[in-house]
Amino acid sequence: MDIFSYSRISTYFNCPKQYKFRYVDKIPSPVPEGIELFLGSRFHEAMEYLYQEIPREVLSLEKLKKYFQMLWEEKWNECVKKQKEKNFQSPIRIVRKNETMQDFFQKGQLFLENYYKKYYPFNQDYTEGLELKVLFDLDPEGQYKMQGYIDRLARDNQGILWIHDYKTNSRKLSKDDVNFDDQLALYQVGVNQSAKYQSFSGVKLMWHFVAFSNNESLVSECTQEKLVQLKRKYISKIQKIKADQVYPTQVSRLCEWCEYLTLCPEGQKKIHEYSNISPPLSEMEKNAPSDHSLLKKSLDFQKDVSSYNTSEQLPLF
């Protein structure tokens, strides 16, 4: 039985073709990891370390930043090794050519500093779980299942559970946005189904926008009626995905960040249009295999030479 996640479902509704590449055909990424994902992963790992240590000690900001730097170096080295194994053009994929690896490292350090200064000594609540996996049913029969990972689950002195989520991108949601954001509400469905958390008096959802200088956050709550509607909504989404046999391409500005851009003539064409470059379609067709089985065989030889500049991808350390 397929178990869906919020990100998996979101991938389909952003672009069914990308969904097919990733989840149906299970094609390994033909390009290296994107810098945004790299930065977000390192920040989440640092937060996990910070809260893991709190029962023993409250880490100093300096120690936390050094841990972040250690992770950055370690994972960078892994990316370099993978580049050689996979014959990638660069260890890390940076779409915007005016940004560098060092820029993102400095952003990560600033995110940590801002978060630390706002929440020190981190006694607002008590951590119940870090990167906590939740597996839950959308229907009583268990035919539709979802899973997810909560960045941090905590409880306060009033017996309320808090689902914390760290956002490292530069898009800040409004209060109205979070009221219609499904991801944390789905995690609440998972928490509600766990016998371990039945005794708590309520659940609150909290988004931390760490990319902003004041480390803004927003809080929301979901009624049981909303959660029932949410489950119905995602059953319908899963049914739509399972019924699809075509998986059409949905072109947008997001194509620039798609790991499968080198395999997608439609996405490449759209990027050229955005860049005011319009190569003849015959060139696009000539450079992109039309038979999908050929795409699988050519994965190791695909290089996105238009998106990366090796001179910008030098190690920070």
What share of the chain has pLDDT > 90, as a percent? 79
Q: Using one digit for the tens of pLDDT, what is the confidence trace for 203-236? A: 999 999 999 988 899 999 999 999 999 999 999 9
Residue 286 in any domain: the answer is yes
Domain containing 115: what range? 31-123
Quick one: average pLDDT of 233-248? 98
Q: Which residues pair with 150 in a beta bridge?
A: 132
Residue 311 in any domain: the answer is no
pLDDT of residue 276: 65
Same domain as 236, residue 189: yes
Name the domain count of the chain.
Answer: 3
Nearest to 31 by CA among 75, 74, 95, 77: 95
Say if residue 181's pLDDT is above 70: yes
Q: Which residues pair with 204 in a beta bridge?
A: 162
Say if residue 248's pLDDT is above 90: yes
CATH number at residue 191: 3.40.1350
**Sign of the CA dihedral running 168, 208, 231, 143:** positive
**Residue 19 near residue 11, CB atoms below 8 Å:** yes
Picking from 243, 266, 293, the residue at the C-terminal end of a domain is: 243
Same domain as 83, residue 110: yes
Alpha-carbon distance 18 to 256, whole Å?
Answer: 12
Same domain as 207, residue 283: no
Predicted TM-score of the model (pTM): 0.84
Same domain as 45, residue 109: yes
What is the distance in angstroms between the CA of the first residue and the CA of the last residue of the chain? 45
Residue 118 in any domain: the answer is yes
Three-state SS for the chain is CCEEEHHHHHHHHHCHHHHHHHHHCCCCCCCCCEHHHHHHHHHHHHHHHHHHHCCCCCCCHHHHHHHHHHHHHHHHHHHHHHHHHHCCCCCCECCCCCCCHHHHHHHHHHHHHHHHHHHCCCCCCEEEEEEEEEEEECCCCCCCEEEEEEEEEEECCCCEEEEEEEECCCCCCCHHHHHCCCHHHHHHHHHHCCHHHCCCCEEEEEEEECCCCCCCEEEECCCHHHHHHHHHHHHHHHHHHHHCCCCCCCCCHHHHHCCCHHHCHHHHHHHHHHCCCCCCHHHHHHHCCCCHHHHHHCHHHCCCCCCCCHHHCCCCC
Picking from 243, 273, 288, the residue at the C-terminal end of a domain is: 243
Say if residue 310's pLDDT is above 60: no
Alpha-carbon distance 263 to 26, whole Å?
Answer: 13
Q: Using one digit for the tens of pLDDT, what is the confidence trace for 73-123? A: 999 999 999 999 999 999 999 998 899 999 999 999 999 999 999 999 999
